[in-house]
Structure 1
């Protein structure tokens, strides 16, 4: 089947299915980009939860009223350094310049189907302000260190919940990407079946014509032989 002239209905159906299958490449690219964007955010989130855990340890240690000033100040400096690393982790959580962890966007929508419908992922801010902390979060004595334990524990819970939500989105993208791949394979197979079916018909037609041609040649040969036999009677 080379063109619409061969079989208009089958040609149109095959072309439509082929076009849809081809357009799904863009969908798969978009979904894969979504996967990578979430994966980067999840990796940053793992780092951030580890940092929060260490911050909690420092705050707990600093809440010990028996510490001397030097030890307390060392714990305070460590706490603040860990806090600043959270900002760096959230800021660097970008894929192709896009982040769903640094608070610069509220959601991203990736292509989901050939009709242009989308798969929306809600951003989860993992920067300090998104976790209930600030760039100035610290402690100045044992009492404020004790209070900071509660604050950091809350931030850790917030981060964990946000990562769980991103994990669910990641699973959803994986599942849909698998579906799109199978759909594309089915469409390609469908186009092949349509073309093969049409080729089978054309092959049958050709065989029929060849048979008729052979029968015609045989009939002509028989007729020629009969004519020769009749003519011989008059010799």
Structure 2
């Protein structure tokens, strides 16, 4: 075995091993600190790119959920207003039926007509206030909902507006803003008109209810999809902290041993001094 003060092979090997251990230790500490085994492209370019694409998908799905929620809230407001309008129509039919009685005196007929017109005007007030986020689905020319259905915006769920305004397609031309039951003839005719309006409003409410259910079901699906995507990203990039913790302790011990080995290797050259005593 030869000794040289110029080249300490043992120290070089010990330093190389110590540097390798130090590099592994820093990598493990980074994984523990971030909770990620792939935190940047330099860790694993392919996995990082896949994870980033899936993160983009998950982020986009947040917008889809928000769109579905806004659409559902708009429909729920329309449904609430529609339910109130249906109740008003039931009362209006009662008033029309009562006013069709030929034995009523003028005062009673006038009182019934005033109540009928008050109920009629409440319908308009209800429709005017059935607004959510600037959208009204039950006025004349109301807003049709088109909620996002996927993360690319290429698919939407459409829920048609339902015109519940006086004189509109569902109310009928007879039940307009000037409808009244001031005479036996108008009262008798209004019974059928209001009855038809009740049936049409019920059908319109059914369409809105079906649309609301469709948005709710799709929202549940999108939420589940987003959770699955997030879990998939975690499988790709998340570190196993229990495993990394054990690895950290092993590397710390290895580091200490490496320092000792380097120290011993550095002391080997001093052995040469003993040869000259």
Name the CA distance, whole Å, in 1 between partners of 2:262 and 2:98. Answer: 110
Residues 21 and 187 in structure 1, CA contact (< 8 A), matched pair in contact too:
yes
Does 1:140 find its partner at 2:182? Answer: yes
Structure 2 gap segments, 5+ residues each: 1-37, 266-277
Name the CA distance, whole Å, in 1 between partners of 2:241 and 2:57. Answer: 22
Name the CA distance, whole Å, in 1 between partners of 2:193 and 2:102. Answer: 19
Could you say which residue in structure 1 is the equivalent of 2:144? 107
Larger Rg: 2
> Match of 2:159, SS?
strand
Residues 58/45 of structure 1: CA separation in 2 closer, same or farther (3 Å cut): same
> Match of 2:238, SS?
helix
Does 1:131 find its partner at 2:168? Answer: no
Q: Of the candidates 98, 111, 121, which is equivalent to residue 84 of structure 1?
A: 121
Residues 136 and 143 in structure 2, CA contact (< 8 A), matched pair in contact too:
no
Residues 210/220 of structure 1: CA separation in 2 closer, same or farther (3 Å cut): same
> Match of 1:109, SS?
strand
Structure 1 gap segments, 5+ residues each: 224-235
Name the CA distance, whole Å, in 1 between partners of 2:66 and 2:204. Answer: 25
What is the TM-score with the length of structure 1 in the denominator?
0.85
Residues 67 and 148 in structure 2, CA contact (< 8 A), matched pair in contact too:
yes
How is 1:1-235 mapped onto 2 (pairs within 5 angstroms)? 1-105=38-142, 107-116=144-153, 117-128=155-166, 129=168, 130-132=170-172, 133-196=175-238
> Match of 1:131, SS?
coil
Q: What is the count of residue pairs matched by the alignment?
A: 235
Structure showing greater relative contact order (alpha-carbon pairs closer than 8 Å, 6 or more residues apart): 2
Residue 46 of structure 1 and its aligned partner are, at CA, apart by 0.7
What is the TM-score with the length of structure 2 in the denominator?
0.73
Which 4+ residue blocks in structure 1 deviate beyond 4 angstroms?
197-223
More displaced 10-residue stretch of structure 1: 192-201 or 14-23: 192-201
